[in-house]
Structure 1
Amino acid sequence: MSAAGGPVRYGIVGHGWRADFYLRLARQVPERFQCVGAVTRRPDVGARLEQQWGIPTYRSVEELVASAAPEVVVTSVPREANPEVVSSLVALDTAVLSETPPAPDADGLRRLWAAVGASDLVQVAEQHPYLPVVVALRTLIADGVLGEVTSAQVSWSHDYHATALLRILLGVAAEPARVSAVRTTGPLLEGPDRGGWPATPEVRPAAHTLAVLEMAGRSGVYDFSEGQWFNPWRRRHVIVRGSHGEVVGNEVTWSTENGTPVSAPIVRRHTGLDGNLEGADLDTLSWSGRVLYRNPYPGARLSDEEIAIGTCLERTGQWRRGVEPAPYPLADACQDHLLALAIHAAADTGGPVTTGAEPWARAVRP
């Protein structure tokens, strides 16, 4: 099924591991995504991308916008360079999907907001809220299955990715937060990284950060071990608690109308297993007889991470067309990165850190 108005036409600034996700989307789901070009400073890198991916390349964002007319431009550059690239695209009246974080520190966030915040042209490529299991959890929360949500715990990803999940699960906007944190170091067997598995996995010291965020009368727990992203020895842990039930991992416990406690798991249907010949693909996530999530890109053989990245990109395109609301605006990204910085500051000092009302606060959504 094609997107409303045809595939999203997007350009990319930068190259490398993260940019390749967006290039693969255009190849694997061409009816929904079309990469119209990439910007690289070096001609030799541009030539390699042209040969490998079959796209034109340009040496500047001005050339990309003038020649390829993208609806959205993804910025996948070092965080120190990102604010300048984003500002250049906004000056060209071009919508931006900025890689995370949008700036390296709190002052950088404030400068970026002052420069482009009023433009309403900048979204941020935070895919975690669009991961299939997170969408399923958000559906349960929105439907009131857990009652009033009071706390959440995430041990999965790090920094702004984790704080984005905590804020969304708790339904918190940009209220002031009191953050307490501790950091310890312990042994952990190496897992794979972006380059794959180590030849001989070794046990190495890994930092472990544990933080509590008190926001709007609710509490969020941040729990992350260094290298946890790909490490199979550290599984995903998500807990959401409300007045009428809780979710622990994939198990949901809730109250019926007459007050009876009942439980049921969130079940993943993945095709291609055993004798199934539909191909290896995510199909649905269901719970208690209800489908909570359906793969929007069936047949593309995408991982959950790729599905989430594609969803964020496609919704950015549809937002630019006026079809859908903004997927993850700059204001939300600034707030989540501010909270992540507060976690590190609290862990560094050993004392609590309190965030205040920032210039973007009124634009942040719960």
Structure 2
Amino acid sequence: MSDDATPDATSERAAALGLTSPAAEEGAAGPVRFAVVGSGWRAEFFLRMAVLMPERFAVVGVVSRTAERGAEVTARWGTPTFRTVGELLAATDPELVVVSVPWDVTPVVTRELVEAGTPVLAETPPAPDAAGLRTLWEQVGASGLVQVAEHSPVMPAHAARHRLLQDGAIGQVTSVQISSTHMYHAVAVIRRLLGAGFEPVRITAQRFAAPLMNPRTRAGWTGDRDPVEASTILALLDLGEGRSAVYDFTDNQWHNPLRADRLLVRGSHGELLDDRVTRWLDGETTIDSPLVRSQSGIGQDLDGYDLQHLSFEGQVVYRNPFVGARLSDDDIAVATLLDRTGAWVRGQGEPPYPLAEGSQDHLISLAVEEAAGTGQPITTEREAWAG
């Protein structure tokens, strides 16, 4: 049942969390009303968006397993909590529900919500393994109610790079090399930048172990001084039609400052290396141009620390839709998913990341892990979600 709680004013919650709420125009239908199943670390990314931008997003309830955890959530975020999905839906009227629970629980909760006719934004991955992906698709795929919260492709820099590729800056895109994030996140970026669909992918991979210091984790600085053995997977993906990708990920690469993000995209008329594009211009000219980040709040800029836009050769190729909220790039991507999912459920936009896409990402990432574990090539098959 619902915990007894009277939510504080949004401004008071924001102040208590050390956050400020920006002025944002309210849409014609008001803020997107969403609920969250789960109360862990990743669920809080969505809850934080409602505190920062109440004109855009409103949390109507959270499902937590215990009353004790529910009380903590209510105290921190000012939202009522429930023990079950049924209780949540009986007491609230969300436009969509974010499912942010352990991998093996996600399909169960997703099915329950779809059976109730409720649109779902499921955290990655939508099911733990290939068999689970296929079963989930068989059970809910035809409903069209499930989107996946794959945020990596819509992070500002990746969105700007994708725009450049679409505009033909380096001609026909042929390969991607990524060393940044892991599994389905990396695959999602690869597939988007290459324009790949649901074709079979041939994967060869190998796992290597080498010493590496681990000075920082999600919990903070470790104080560790001595290198320990860290695992790295190197994989080569053949996506057909001359398209290829190199996947390179080391344990804890998200947090370890000794391993930087790297991205190389090659095309018929040039290449994009991180934030610099080398491309053909005319008969005897190639040029080297940066992707420029416009960031307020640096030095004597008193407007507050905020991403404004990304530009290339004098043209804006990405503009932050949430200026004033002081969001990290990861938070901007989360807010973008929420915003686009809200527009989709209101019939005002395209599906932001359908279940088929999220399933394909994870299918390929599982094949990468399998190929690295066995040392044998793996070729994925065309699945039912390919349509």
* TM band (smaller chain): over 0.9
**1:240 alignment partner AA:** V
Aligned residue among 157, 160, 183 for 1:159: 183
Distance 1:227 1:4, change over 3 A: farther
**1:84 alignment partner AA:** V
Percent of pairs with identical residues: 50
Aligned residue among 76, 89, 112 for 2:136: 112
- Contact kept, 8 Å, 2:215 with 2:223, in 1: the verdict is no
Report the CA distance between 1:41 and its aligned residue. 2.1
Match for residue 353 of structure 1? 378
Match for residue 240 of structure 1? 265
Report the CA distance between 1:3 and its aligned residue. 4.0
CA offset digits 1:193-225 (Å, max 9, x no partner) = 221111334421110000011012200110101
Match for residue 262 of structure 1? 287
Distance 1:185 1:142, change over 3 A: same
Pair 1:131-2:151 in alignment: no
Give the Cα–Cα distance (whole angstroms) in 2 for the partners of residues 303 and 193 of structure 1.
18
CA offset digits 1:130-176 (Å, max 9, x no partner) = 10000001100111111110101111000000001100010000101
**1:282 alignment partner AA:** L
Give the Cα–Cα distance (whole angstroms) in 1 for the partners of residues 249 and 376 of structure 2.
19
- Contact kept, 8 Å, 1:180 with 1:343, in 2: the verdict is yes
Pair 1:287-2:312 in alignment: yes
Worse-matched range after superposition: 89-98 or 40-49: 40-49
Residue pairs, 1:26-37, within 5 angstroms: 26-37=50-61
Give the Cα–Cα distance (whole angstroms) in 2 for the partners of residues 231 and 29 of structure 1.
31
Match for residue 191 of structure 1? 215
CA offset digits 1:55-108 (Å, max 9, x no partner) = 011111122122211011001111111111000000010000001111110000
Residue pairs, 1:1-366, within 5 angstroms: 1-3=25-27, 5-217=29-241, 218-258=243-283, 260-362=285-387
- Contact kept, 8 Å, 2:202 with 2:379, in 1: the verdict is yes
Q: In angstroms, what is the RMSD of aligned CA positions?
A: 1.1
Worse-matched range after superposition: 191-200 or 115-124: 191-200
TM-score, normalised to structure 2, is 0.92
Give the Cα–Cα distance (whole angstroms) in 2 for the partners of residues 357 and 114 of structure 1.
15
Q: Which runs of 5+ in 1 are unaligned?
A: none
- Contact kept, 8 Å, 1:4 with 1:318, in 2: the verdict is no
Give the Cα–Cα distance (whole angstroms) in 2 for the partners of residues 163 and 50 of structure 1.
36
Q: Which runs of 5+ in 2 are unaligned?
A: 1-24
Report the CA distance between 1:351 and its aligned residue. 1.4
Give the Cα–Cα distance (whole angstroms) in 2 for the partners of residues 313 and 257 of structure 1.
42
SS at match of 2:30: coil
Report the CA distance between 1:259 and its aligned residue. 5.5
**1:327 alignment partner AA:** P
**1:81 alignment partner AA:** V
Give the Cα–Cα distance (whole angstroms) in 2 for the partners of residues 3 and 199 of structure 1.
47
TM-score, normalised to structure 1, is 0.97
What is the total number of aligned residue pairs between the two structures? Answer: 362
- Contact kept, 8 Å, 1:280 with 1:301, in 2: the verdict is yes
